Chains A and B, each alone.
Chain A
Amino acid sequence: MVNLGRRRMRGERRRKLHLSKIYSFACGKQSLKEDHSQIGGRGYSRVVFCNEPESFEAGIRSYADNSVSSTKYNLATFLPKSLFEQFRRVANFFFLVTGILAFTKLAPYTAVSAILPLIIIIGATMIKEGIEDWRRKQQDIEVNSRRVKVHTGQGTFEYTEWKNLKVGHIVKIMKDEFFPADLLLLSSSYEDAFCYVETMNLDGETNLKLKQGLEVTSSLHEDFQFSDFQATIKCEDPNANLYSFVGSMEYKEQQYPLSPLQLLLRDSKLRNTDYIFGAVIFTGHDTKVIQNSTDAPSKRTKVEKKMDRVVYFMFCIVFLMAFVGSIFFGITTKDDLDNGLMKRWYLRPDDSTIFFDPKRAPAAAIFHFFTALMLYGFFIPISLYVSIEIVKVLQSIFINQDIHMYYEDADKPSYARTSNLNEELGQVDTILSDKTGTLTCNTMEFIKCSIAGVAYGRGVTEVERSLDSKNGSTLIDDTRDSPVRNVPIKGFNFTDERIMNGKWVNEPYANVIKNFFHLLAICHTALPEVDEDTGNVSYETESPDELAFVIAAREIGFKFYKRTQTSLSIYELNPVSGDKIERTYKLLNVLEFNSTRKRMSVIVKDEEGRILLLCKGADSVMFERLAKDGREFEEKTLEHVHEYSDAGLRTLILAYRELDENQYKEFDNNFSQAKNSVSEDRETLIEEVSEKIERNLILLGATAVEDKLQNGVPDCIDKLSQAGIKIWVLTGDKMETAINIGFACSLLRQGMKQIIIQLESPEIQALEKAGDKVAIVKACRENIRHQISEAAQQITASRGTSQQAFALIIDGKSLAYALEDNMKKMFLDLATRCASVICCRSSPKQKALVTRLVKSATGKTTLAIGDGANDVGMLQEADIGIGISGVEGMQAVMSSDIAIAQFCYLERLLLVHGHWCYRRISSMICYFFYKNITFGFTLFLYEVYASFSGQPAYNDWFLSVYNIFFSSLPVIALGVFDQDVSARYCLRFPMLYQEGVQNLLFSWRRIFSWMLNGFISAIIIFFFCTKAMEIQAFDEKGRTAGRDILGATMYTCVVWVVNLQMAVAINYFTLIQHIFIWGSVAIWYLFLLAYGAMSPTISGNAYKVFVETLAPSPSFWFVTLVVVISALIPYFSYSAIQMRFFPMYHEMVQWVRYEGKTNDPEFVAMVRQGSLRPTTVGSTARLAAKDNDLKDIMELLTGSSQAESDVAYIHLVMEWCTQPNHHLDVKACHLAKQAFDEAIAELDTLSEESYKEHFDHAAFERQPDTLDL
């Protein structure tokens, strides 16, 4: 109750705000557009009767209701639709056809036994589909049954579920609620029907958007006023365009035009506004957001695509075998009747059906072909697809359950939204990453400032820290973690005893400092929210930068706490007396920020009556606006600004100006004129007026805000690049920021040659001024082509000479040309030769295009990771889209394949889960083909001895349950649980990941080897069994072995061999594996017992075959033993040799583990380092490069005189320092010098020998974080 009361009070206060007075740009009157004439016509036919959804008129239009459905099926369509989906798979269709054929006389086995496995398999898949769809249904239900207040007549609003909303309903949305449908804004808690909307779910932008209702309805503030509200809205039909809306409202017999400004879109959120009233216009699937949603493209992994090819290959083998068999069958059948004489008279060839008729041998052969297809169909593992699906679902449960990928702070575990891309995670070649919100947290921290030419702020930026730790020196004192620091304040990471706690008054330019923070406290559009119990103030702002500023001002002692329509109030802490002084500024104008202006200003009148223009903006626009006498600190500030941006910080310049009354009056007149103009160029007019007043500013200083890197990003990038994964950064940010972040993440490093492609050359700019579009395009294209080819030459030239690494940085404008059809190959060629690629200022579409280019042109697996709606295209385009479930809404997550909470979890996701899943799936598929070839080929071999008549060697039911009972569970266990090496080792030896990237485990060679193994096993099983049981007595009683006994024995051998083969092949035996493998063998014997005990009608020739014939006979057991062991010997010997003499990388790691050499750093280092490619990115590479350079210095130094070494040193440093575009040149030079000094000092004290030892040791010691896991 208390809360409610307070809210109401605040609402009352706020309602008095006429926000339209503050804002001058985005929200004035919309000019009438021509579109309005189309209302009522084609495409603009919607009529909404507000507040009477049940009326007759509304009834005939019967617009869709507000329930949404994302399900694929419903009760009626489930069966046909999902069956159709199933049988679209070639293998399943094949089995369907053979299943149907099994009901004809062609069948070599009974129809039921053929169709039953298919039913089980299809059933299982359909159940899975059903469950997935059911989950979607649940989600829909959850959304559909959210509650919203809707007008029920007589001015009462009652809660109802979203799905019950109808077009025409009046709804009341409270603060922080989502809009249930597309609404027409009628009024809000603010006087002039303003409201703030967060559209994160739509476009990913965190800025709050302003919407304003029509003036005529803005007075409807109370519930009861709606009891007799009536209006008719005519507008466009549902469409997907988020940013346009055309319509008109008839209210009190007058027409009012409507614009997007009045439209509140479904799934956006009401912010900073207590409530709004709105009329429902579009519901459910008619809403713009749902019209906009496209089905996520269905992605298939490379392994699966290859598997399909293997399946086709198997089909070829099957067809070939069937063909060969049919020919032989045809010949022998034809032979049976020789001039009317029967040869094999016992077959009665004279009186035969078409299937065996010698007189129609070709026909018989053709029919036999189908029979053979059915029989050899066992080559195709029927349960392959369903097993893989089951396995993948289980694998993704493991991903979801991984506690190492759970983000405590946000309470977010990782979430695999699609399970079918698991193994692709193990094959990623290129990562395309967003920057903001992905590499960085998208929280801004006020960290440094330069006031009056003095730099304040002792905070250490992530970039500095990263460099610092990698350099291994303690160049910068890290004060952040010092215990003095109390509870961290979000957005504020500023420590400087000189100005904190009121000490600023003692500084030489105290007045400037005061103005500086006044400006920060006043020049913004933030809304304060006072917690009345504690007196703490929090702010709601449009951008995180702004939030950081107000908070900084608050922390220094200039607390902004109240905003009224016309004034801003701050408390100023008087440092001397400790009193709080309240200051109120009269707010006269706000000149808003936009991307062309790159600055914002406010004009205020302070208590003394001075009129001040306070302005903050980017350095590029601010310095030119300074007054002659305002440039006192320009030089120093400029220097600081460069320093800050070198450290990866965002900077803004602060300046102010005092206006006299006349100046202001003149401006105010012009400004209101411009504001009230209705012409097209209204915005330009306003801009011009603002431009004129924002001049002659006096510089105060600059702020530096850190765009914080996420936890562990540099380490993660280091690991990923050690794994040989290329990382591209695609960001919308500007080049400087992108490069800074690149340095922070070790994507760029000193000594890396930066190739920067941009269109900033003077000629282009001159052309742009001239404005000839065709000429610009042509010149740009030529320019880019030239730049690319030059860069390529540079790389070619440097190849072989050194380990020079290149980085490519390209901006969006150039990218547009580079991505053109005739240039993209060149561009990609260049990009792939660079160690890291950064695309800045790129649009969402360009991100998607780059992704597509990399994916299609290199044919390698790409992974896109991002968090915002601007990354959606990229996520959907890439082979795998990873969404960061961070702050920027859910749009990216909803269109991603896997959602994780932090970028650094990518390391575990790829190196551990990806590697495992890839390994599991590929081993599983290989094994599947192995086991089915082993089984199927024994059938074929038997055919050879049964004159290809199509008689299977085994009992019908043995045939049909093979894939289901005796061989499926172990292979699923393999797919779910197998680990070549544990997670710890996966992370420790990132190079292991290359097995997936290079597809070593699912190469044709490996597939064919397994197939060959299958053929060998089958041959051994068949010939050993037949030779051993051939003709002689089978047991002591002298009875011989018939078809039943030989079949059962061979089958036993097959079951044993495939299961033991599994046991030999896997590396990881948990109890589950034991149960499944030995269980499968045990099930076979149990099955044999149970099946044999059934009446002979069912069991046929398997009746009592085990108890009566097999079990009592020693030869059965001895044959099994010898066959099983012999069939395993080839594989066992092969893998023993491979393991010892040609181990693959994972086997080496196994050796390392097995031999307990994990603590032998030298050995481990050899295994790890030996396979690193020379040029790569990441901190390890940076370190290595640095060591190399130091070694070069040392080589130059040792054995040369002092003078020579001086020359060498200067030469080297010069080389380093003269590299163009090197943002950290100063630091690099500094480091080089320091290293040099150290080395000299060491050389002085140590002999040469001991120096070398020392140096190696030192180099080694510097890696503890990478060595010690």
Chain B
Amino acid sequence: MASSSAAGAGSTDPAAARRNTKRPKYSKFTQQELPACKPILTPRAVISAFLLVSIVFVPIGVASLIASRKVVEIVFRYESTCIPNNVTDKVAYIQSSADKTCNITLHVNKHMKSPIHVYYQLDNFYQNHRRYVKSRSDEQLRDRSEENSTSTCKPEDTANGKAIVPCGLIAWSLFNDTYSFSRVNQSLKVNKEGISWKSDREHKFGKDVFPRNFQSSAIKGGASLNESIPLSKQEDLIVWMRTAALPTFRKLYGRIEEDLNEGDSINVILKNNYNTYSFNGKKKLVLSTTSWLGGKNDFLGIAYLTVGGLCFFLALSFTIVYFVKPRQLGDPSYLSWNMNPGGH
């Protein structure tokens, strides 16, 4: 090409060495000629990428599915079972001061290795509602001297003219159903220690902050707190106050540190205090073991298997298509501007 670009280009004129010239300095960077890898999606690259994904994903999928299947889970929905049959107005019943103890029996179908985690699961409960999420005072929870910083807690900020500790809707609506378990008249201890995150206990809830004036306002929300125990030890509260992301959620209640054998019947004495009836929420009691991956959820395993399988399928179909219908590359007749010519 005897053209222009050669004009200024390779001239090794002595004048170039002259000082004060405005000649741009040559570097690979300024001339945009940096060494670069220029991958293009060749059939081989595409097929191997898909194959690689499927090779990696399928084993992971199998492993996580196995992990999930190994988890033994007992779920018992009780919000309607624990209401006496003759009650028609469930909300009134739950708000009354009647004894709401409820006995249920759980059957263990499979050996459950300790620790067995006890959860309560609520449904249709919007812990992620903005009003709810914001209704707390982190300063107050952390620091005894900040007792009165309750401005974010309205309407549960003060009662009887004094600040509520812990203030806010979250604390106020603390879950207050209780469960006690027994197996063949031998009670099963529920360990409630260590159910919360350590950072919460140590940094977010003060060791010298004690509940005060709690649940003393006109409407009683949920559980009351023992005023002699500092907040950092009130693990139920700590767990509750780490708000759930979605309207259906489980929260850790405690752990049973004994194995449960297949065929065991567990008697649960359940105090059905918490009002989910107003908003048609379900309540479930869950006993579950864990695997290295957490609780029972096949989704991850299935997702891995599906994606892996899909990739394998894509790899296969790409291979077939490439073989069956090889296209003459670089045939410009497919270009859009050749299909509908415009211009001159």
Contacts and interface: CB of A to CB of B under 8 A. Distances in A.
B2 A715 contact: yes
Contacts of A1113: 294
B291 interface: yes
26 contacts: A348-B155, A408-B23, A902-B7, A947-B129, A982-B33, A998-B337, A1026-B245, A1031-B246, A1031-B248, A1032-B294, A1032-B295, A1034-B295, A1038-B290, A1040-B251, A1042-B243, A1042-B244, A1043-B133, A1067-B38, A1097-B139, A1114-B293, A1126-B303, A1147-B40, A1154-B40, A1171-B332, A1171-B337, A1265-B3
A537 interface: no
Interface stretch (B76-84, B178-186, B197-205, B208-216): B197-205
A1266 B35 contact: no
Interface string A918-929: 000000000000
Interface residues of A, number: 143
Interface string A1046-1080: 11000000000000000000011111110000000
Nearest to B138: A1096
Nearest to A1000: B336
A1096 B142 contact: yes
A902 B5 CA distance: 11
A277 B55 CA distance: 89
B300 interface: yes
Interface string A519-539: 000000000000000000000
Interface string B68-108: 00000000000000000000000100000000000000000
Nearest to A346: B173
A712 interface: yes
A351 B30 contact: no
A1033 B294 contact: yes
Contacts of A397: 30
Interface in A191-216: none
A1072 B32 CA distance: 12
Nearest to A356: B131
A971 to B, nearest CB: 17
A1224 B98 CA distance: 113
B128 interface: yes
A1173 B343 contact: yes
The interface size bin for chain B is 35 or more
A102 to B, nearest CB: 14
Interface in B296-324: 296-297, 299-300, 303-304, 307, 310-311, 314, 318, 322
Given A1030-B299, A1040-B251, A1136-B46, A402 B24 contact: yes
A1040 B7 contact: no
B131 A352 contact: yes
A1170 B331 contact: yes
Contacts of B246: 945, 1026, 1030-1031, 1046
A347 B131 contact: yes
Interface stretch (B113-121, B158-166, B226-234, B259-267): B113-121
A1039 B197 contact: yes
Interface stretch (A9-17, A540-548, A1117-1125): A1117-1125
Contacts of A1096: 138, 142, 199, 203-204
Interface stretch (A337-345, A510-518, A585-593): A337-345
Interface in A578-605: none
Interface of A: 108, 341-348, 351-353, 355-356, 371, 397-398, 400-408, 411-413, 711-712, 715-716, 719, 724, 726, 832-833, 835, 902, 904-905, 907-908, 916, 945-947, 949-951, 953, 977, 979, 982-983, 987, 991, 994, 998, 1000, 1024, 1026-1047, 1067-1073, 1095-1097, 1100-1101, 1103-1104, 1108-1109, 1113-1115, 1118-1119, 1121-1122, 1125-1126, 1129, 1132-1133, 1135-1136, 1139-1145, 1147-1155, 1157, 1163, 1166-1167, 1170-1171, 1173, 1175-1176, 1265-1266, 1268-1269
Nearest to A710: B4
B288 interface: yes
Contacts of B35: 1070
Contacts of A1265: 1-3
Contacts of A902: 4, 7
Interface in B123-159: 125-133, 138-139, 142, 154-156
B64 A1118 contact: yes
Given A907-B5, A1040-B251, A1068-B38, A1031 B121 contact: yes
B269 interface: no
B169 interface: yes
B101 to A, nearest CB: 22
Given A907-B4, A1129-B307, A1039 B252 contact: yes
A1100 B295 contact: no
A1038 B195 CA distance: 8
Contacts of A1037: 194, 290
A44 B252 CA distance: 93
Contacts of A982: 33
Residue from the set A1033, A1046, A1072 with the largest chain B CB neighbour count within 10 Å:
A1033
A1003 B64 CA distance: 44
Interface in B328-342: 329-338, 341-342
B329 A1143 contact: yes
B208 to A, nearest CB: 16
A1145 B275 CA distance: 66
A353 B130 contact: no
Contacts of A987: 1, 5
A984 to B, nearest CB: 9
A1126 B50 CA distance: 11
A413 B2 contact: no
Contacts of B22: 406, 411-413
B341 A1173 contact: yes
Contacts of A908: 4-5
Contacts of A905: 4, 8
A499 to B, nearest CB: 32
A1140 B5 contact: no
Contact of A946 (B37, B130, B194): B130
A668 B341 CA distance: 69
A983 B51 CA distance: 34
B16 interface: yes
A343 B330 contact: no
Given A353-B154, A1033-B117, A1037-B194, 13 more contacts: A348-B156, A403-B24, A411-B21, A413-B23, A832-B344, A946-B247, A994-B337, A1026-B245, A1027-B303, A1033-B250, A1033-B290, A1122-B60, A1148-B331
A343 B335 contact: no
Given A345-B275, A413-B24, A1071 B169 contact: no
Interface in B11-44: 11, 13, 15-16, 21-26, 30-43
Residue from the set B49, B121, B278, B295 with the largest chain A CB neighbour count within 10 Å:
B295
B255 interface: yes
A343 B90 CA distance: 13
Given A1038-B115, A1173-B344, A1028 B252 contact: no
Residue from the set B5, B22, B292 with the largest chain A CB neighbour count within 10 Å:
B5
A1109 B156 contact: no
A408 B13 contact: yes
Residue from the set A346, A398, A400, A983 with the largest chain B CB neighbour count within 10 Å:
A346
A480 B23 CA distance: 29
B275 to A, nearest CB: 6
Residue from the set A1031, A1068, A1171 with the largest chain B CB neighbour count within 10 Å:
A1031
Contact of A724 (B154, B242, B343): B343
A1070 B333 CA distance: 33
Contacts of B244: 1040, 1042-1043
B45 to A, nearest CB: 8
The 9 closest A-B pairs by CB, nearest first: A1032-B295, A904-B4, A1033-B295, A1038-B117, A712-B4, A346-B173, A1046-B245, A1170-B332, A949-B130
A1042 B240 CA distance: 10
B215 to A, nearest CB: 13
